[in-house]
Amino acid sequence: MNELASLVSPFHFLRPAWLLLLIPVLPLLWRLWKRQAAEHAWRRVIPAHLLPHLLLRGEARSALWQPLTTLSLLLLLGIVALAGPAWERQPSPFREDQAALVIAMKVTPSMLAQDVQPSRLERSVQKIGDLLALRAGGRTALVAYAGSAHLVMPLTRDAGIIETFAAELDPRIMPREGDAAAAAVALANERLAGSGLPGSILLIADSVSPDQLEGLRQQRTQGGASVQLLAMAAGPEVIPPPDSPPAAALDHAAVGEAASAAGGELVLPTVDDADVERLVRLVEHSLTQAEAQQGDYWQDAGYYLVPVLALLALLGFRRGWVVRHD
């Protein structure tokens, strides 16, 4: 029973208004079938060679497949085909083209700390390069933020230009100091919405200020894209070099709360590509969910009935196959 329900539940019509044609068609077919039934009744009492002349219906037929049968199937199946029966989702043919990712990278003095070698900022750029290599051909944009958020590069398929601009980012060029993570996510969502493409956001930061959490939650509740957080900092167990700029160690609980507020997951940096590979999986999962809502479409199964309708229509060209309605 559950298997039957699972098969029936997604069935629906894409254009159900066409089913209103059944209102005039069904009474018409019923009247035609009733008239034909009356003719069959007369065949019991009138000789077959006299029946066509008395009923004025042309050649009497005894075959099961009558012109009226063809007409009924043609009308009913045609209406069903026009209504667009559907029960299976079809992935968008442009799904690969629609894969979009906005990377929002924190560019503050704390990102120059060397607890993550060679520095938090340089490692972030390296991870961006690794990520883009795994997403070859995907559209990517870059946002830099400190006390304010700024679009560095709009969505592009050119991974090299993203890496080049990311490598040139420096805290000294940022107009304001601070932590505007929520503004960076808002800008990323704005770019995704403007492109009309489903997408995801990657936030690269060594920390997220507590006063940004509410803004991150609002972005998510307002329908913004999911945000994965790559926490680019080491824990207190790692002792940075003596010449490393001062910066707080990674607060795992705090960045975890920020990732949760943004609707994504927390990813910690690794010395190999494990962190990047996980990010790719998370981004692809987010894109799949977004495309299921925006890019996927219900496959119109009405086209499957076209050959049947064509065959039934050809039968109408047979000599003497006429349905009269007086």
We report the CATH number of the domain holding residue 151 as 3.40.50.410
The reply to whether 292 and 304 lie within a common domain is no
Same-domain pairing of 152 and 211: yes
- Read off the pLDDT band of 72 (50, 70, 90): confident
Tell me whether residue 202 is in a domain. Answer: yes
Average pLDDT, the chain: 83
- Which of 32-41, 174-183, 275-284 shows the lowest mean pLDDT across its residues? 32-41
Query: What is the tally of structural domains in the chain?
Result: 2
Enclosing domain of residue 187 = 95-297
0.85 surpassed by pTM? no
Whether residue 323 is contained in a domain is answered as: no
- 3-class DSSP assignment, residue 304: helix
* Residues 220, 170 share a domain: yes
**What are the CA-CA distances from residue 145 to residues 27, 69, 151, 167, 258 (Å)?**
69, 71, 9, 14, 16
Q: Are residues 27 and 147 in the same domain?
A: no
Q: Is there a domain that residue 153 lies in?
A: yes
Q: Rounded to 5, what percent of the chain is helix, strand, coil?
A: 50, 15, 35
Residues 110, 50 share a domain: no
Whether 320 is covered by a domain: the verdict is no
Q: Does residue 41 sit in the same domain as residue 101?
A: no
In-domain check, residue 240: yes
Residue with the larger pLDDT of the pair 89 and 111: 111
Residue 126 maps to a domain: yes
At 161 the pLDDT is 95
Distances (CA, A) of 64 to 76, 120, 132, 167, 276: 19, 82, 67, 79, 68
Q: Which residues contact 215 (CB under 8 A, 6 or more apart)?
A: 181, 182, 183, 185, 186
For residue 78, is it within any domain?
yes
Determine contact, residues 67/325, Cβ cutoff 8 Å. no
Provide the 3-class DSSP secondary structure of residue 145: strand
Assess whether pLDDT exceeds 70 at residue 118: yes
Nearest to 36 by CA among 57, 50, 54, 22: 57
Please tell me whether residues 111 and 213 are part of one structural domain: yes
User: Is 309 found in the same domain as 286?
Assistant: no
83/215 same-domain check = no
Q: Tell me, yes or no, whether 62 and 142 share the same domain.
A: no
**In 53-118, where do the E strands start and end?**
85-86, 89-90, 100-106
